[in-house]
Amino acid sequence: MNANASTKDPATAYSDYYTMSAAQKAAMNTQVKTLDVNGQAINATITTGASGVMNIALGDQNVAPAYYTLSNLVIKAPATMSLSDINASLRALEVGNQVSTVSYVMTQADMNKKS
């Protein structure tokens, strides 16, 4: 017999277990790191959810951001951050993916259209 089981109402015997299980799955894992990239300190916040999507926020988050999406990875970086700094940050975080030159140029061009 399960210790969580209720002897009074079998229909809700395991509701606490499922409620806790769902809450744990929905919880996101967040790490904050300071990276040394090309002689400058870059703050990185890495968040991973139950879906497996990893969100990485690089640098100063109070400036206009640019977003880069690579399979299950979403990168948010200041629009002024160079491609080499973004990719060096990803290497420092030991992320296997890199932002391609085409993706970087297309994102920058799209941002220039909006401004």
Domain of residue 67 covers: 28-114
Q: Is residue 56 part of a domain?
A: yes
Confidence class of residue 114 from pLDDT cuts 50, 70 and 90? confident
Q: Is residue 41 part of a domain?
A: yes
pTM for the model stands at: 0.72
How many domains are there within the chain? 1
Label the pairing between strands 54-58 and 73-78: parallel
Q: Is residue 54 part of a domain?
A: yes
Q: Which pLDDT belongs to residue 78?
A: 95
Q: Is residue 9 part of a domain?
A: no
Q: Which pLDDT belongs to residue 115?
A: 64
Q: At what angle do helices 83-92 and 101-114 cross, to 10 degrees?
A: 130
Q: Is residue 74 part of a domain?
A: yes
Tell whether the model's pLDDT for residue 30 goes beyond 70: yes
Tell whether the model's pLDDT for residue 23 goes beyond 90: no
What is the DSSP secondary structure assignment for residue 101, as one 8-state letter? Answer: H
Q: Which pLDDT belongs to residue 11?
A: 60
Q: Is residue 6 part of a domain?
A: no
DSSP 31-60: EEEEEEETTEEEEEEEEE-TT--EEEEES-
Q: Is residue 106 part of a domain?
A: yes
Q: Is residue 97 part of a domain?
A: yes
Q: Which pLDDT belongs to residue 8?
A: 59
